[in-house]
Amino acid sequence: MDIQNQDITSTKAFSKGFVVRLDALFEALGVRQYGRITRTAEWSRLSVAGARKLFQDDRPPNEKAFESLSLSIQTEATKQGKDVDLEKIKQFLLYGGINPLKPRQNKNYFQKLDPLAQASVHMALADAGKSQQINIITDFTKTQLEYLLNKIAEVHTEKAIDFATKEMREIATSLVTLAKRNILL
């Protein structure tokens, strides 16, 4: 088989698990489990029986129906504010990989810092909280605190801003204020 001349989105070649990947996209779009066969039929322009067969056989539909299904998934994602490339949807459905509709997991910048830098992150947040009469340990949930620690570490790592600068103090103060008002999480 000549792979170089083959269309990578051809539905003739695909990895096992097509239905699992389709379900993952539906899950990311908020499509209920109960209505997925009907939605697949609508979006792919197949009959309900054809969509049911697709789920039973765990295979993609013919190329025309696959194109329609992929385009409908992209359209629904766009309506929900998720900007995603049509080719990434097709490749995910056929071959797997990273779900293009799931947000990328945040890097845990805080865990990658050395102990001294981690202490500096804690101090920056503690000082920002103290200036607003907020105890970052007792006034925030564990999730909020982890988010704040990671966000300050991200700013330090990505923007190369030192912890002792006025800019970092302003960023930390703003983040603490937003977290206290439950705007961040």
Interatomic CA distance for residues 76 and 102, integer angstroms: 14
- Residue 104 DSSP symbol: P
Instruction: Report pLDDT digits (tens) over 115-145.
Output: 888 899 999 999 999 999 999 999 988 888 9
Per-residue confidence (pLDDT) for residue 104, from 0 to 100: 60
Interatomic CA distance for residues 171 and 153, integer angstroms: 11
* Residue 105, pLDDT above cutoff 60: no
* Residue 48, pLDDT above cutoff 90: yes
Other C-beta atoms closer than 10 Å to the C-beta of 71 total 15
- Evaluate whether 99 touches 24 at the Cβ level (below 8 Å): yes
Q: What is the mean pLDDT of residues 2-21?
A: 61
**Whole-Å CA distances, 149 to 39, 88, 103, 134, 142:** 42, 33, 20, 15, 11
